């Protein structure tokens, strides 16, 4: 015969107490689960909102940077309408004038920084070989490369483990038109050399399409290509652009360098070896001012002879020009501690149908 425990009995009190304890524990567990679920939901919502905000910012930053590129294009087109020369004394090359142009574009928030540089102020790596035939060295370009590499090598405290002659010959073998035999001498390199590397790759036997390809050539070390220890590398002094028509659907590279915009190292390469130290004088002459006015005209190819000490120096006419059709525009938009950079190379040309000057995009990269 079972005895039912009464609520007022000691045993009943223990039973009800246990039930109340279990209920409390269950309630706490439910609250904990709900709290955890609520926190996770809150985290996901905040993450989704943050992602949406970042996505919106990226779109806005992209449009801001594009606006900067277009402002630069307008400056280049206006400049061509005014004259047919391109020098460091013109508005497109003046950071303050470029900033004033960009400031005309209204932005609710953030800022855009734009720079314009002349790709014709660099050495055209593809001009080392005579195109359209694409088999033989261009003599003047080879001499230019010899002086360039002497200059670049001299900038390093520790001389790169390479050889200028090997680099020049290997560049030629990379460029020459499909012979696939190292005809430039023992220091050249064709596909058999590159296919023996790890990882292997072939020799192109054609023009460079991207500057990064130069880093693949035998003898071009990472230090020589990118620079090291404060010394500039080849990547800042070279251009793969500059192609022009040669008739019968063929192409060539004239290799002419804008002496009025070229880097000091390029100026030194243009000068005869014994006069390379005059490059700084040429660079200073181009930007000399008196009362905020440029004092020296540099709109003709022979202006360098007016520089003190350079009168008896002659630079080959087939190497220099004072006009350009190729420019690099770098536009960086910044907003809400985020930034987007667009690196754009354009060719300024006249449309055949309309006669209008335009900037045709050759490369558009987003960082």
Question: pLDDT-based confidence at 307, cuts 50/70/90?
Answer: very high
Higher per-residue confidence, 42 vs 325: 325
What is the tens place of the pLDDT at every residue in 53-83? Answer: 556 678 889 999 999 999 999 999 999 999 9
- pLDDT at position 87 over 80: yes
Average pLDDT for residues 353-361, to the nearest whole number? 95
The CB-side HSE value for 182 (13 A sphere, CA atoms) comes to: 18
Query: Could you tell me what percent of the chain has a pLDDT over 90?
Result: 62
* Residue 88 CB neighbours (<10 A): 18
The CB-side HSE value for 233 (13 A sphere, CA atoms) comes to: 16
Pairing of strands 243-247, 357-366: unpaired
Question: pLDDT-based confidence at 348, cuts 50/70/90?
Answer: very high
- pLDDT at position 151 over 90: no
**CATH superfamily of domain region 120-321:** EpsJ-like (1.10.40.60)
| CA–CA separation, 346 and 23 (whole Å) | 75
| CA–CA separation, 235 and 227 (whole Å) | 8
**Burial environment of residue 277 by CB neighbours within 10 A (0 to 12, 13 to 18, 19 or more):** exposed
- pLDDT at position 180 over 50: no
Question: pLDDT-based confidence at 182, cuts 50/70/90?
Answer: very low
Query: Could you tell me what percent of the chain has a pLDDT over 70?
Result: 87
What is the tens place of the pLDDT at every residue in 205-228? Answer: 899 999 999 999 999 999 999 988
- The domains of the chain are located at 50-119+325-366, 120-321
Question: pLDDT-based confidence at 159, cuts 50/70/90?
Answer: confident
Q: Answer yes or no: same fold for 50-119+325-366 and 120-321.
A: no
Tokens for 130?
């005579």
pLDDT at 149: 94
Q: Span 50-119+325-366: which CATH code?
A: 3.30.1300
Average pLDDT for residues 256-285, to the nearest whole number? 94
> Which residue, among 31, 51, 33, has the nearest Cα to 43 in the 3D structure?
51
CB 313 within 8 A of CB 326: no
């Amino acid at each position: 015969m079972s005895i039912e425990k009464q609520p007022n009995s000691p045993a009943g009190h223990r039973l009800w107490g246990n039930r109340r304890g279990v209920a409390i524990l269950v309630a706490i567990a439910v609250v904990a689960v709900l709290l955890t679920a609520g926190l996770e939901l809150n985290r996901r919502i905040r993450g989704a909102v943050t992602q949406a905000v970042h996505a919106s910012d990226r779109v806005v930053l992209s449009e801001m940077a594009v606006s900067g590129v277009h402002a630069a294009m307008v400056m280049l087109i206006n400049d061509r309408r005014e004259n047919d020369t391109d020098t460091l004394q013109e508005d497109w090359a003046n950071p303050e004038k470029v900033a004033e142009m960009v400031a005309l574009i209204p932005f609710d928030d953030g800022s855009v920084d734009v720079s314009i540089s002349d790709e014709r102020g660099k050495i055209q790596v593809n001009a080392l070989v005579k195109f359209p035939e694409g088999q033989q060295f261009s003599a003047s370009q080879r001499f230019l490369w010899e002086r360039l590499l002497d200059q670049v090598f001299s900038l390093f405290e520790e001389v790169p483990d390479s050889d200028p002659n090997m680099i020049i010959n290997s560049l030629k073998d990379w460029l020459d038109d499909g012979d696939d035999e190292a005809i430039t001498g023992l220091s050249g390199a064709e596909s058999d050399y590159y296919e023996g590397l790890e990882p292997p790759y072939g020799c192109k036997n054609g023009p460079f399409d991207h500057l990064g390809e130069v880093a693949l050539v035998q003898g071009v070390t990472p230090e020589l290509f990118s620079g090291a220890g404060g010394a500039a590398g080849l990547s800042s002094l070279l251009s793969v652009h500059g192609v022009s028509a040669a008739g019968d659907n063929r192409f060539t590279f004239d290799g002419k360098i804008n002496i009025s915009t070229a880097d000091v190292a390029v100026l030194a390469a243009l000068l005869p070896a014994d006069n390379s130290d005059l490059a700084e004088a040429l660079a200073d002459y181009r930007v000399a001012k008196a009362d905020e006015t440029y004092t020296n005209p540099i709109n003709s190819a022979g202006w360098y002879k007016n520089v003190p000490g350079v009168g008896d120096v002659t630079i080959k006419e087939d190497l220099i020009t004072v006009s350009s059709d190729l420019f690099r525009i770098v536009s960086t938009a910044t907003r809400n501690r985020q930034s987007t950079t667009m690196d754009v190379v354009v060719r300024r040309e006249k449309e055949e149908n309309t006669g209008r000057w335009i900037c045709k995009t050759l490369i558009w990269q987003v960082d």
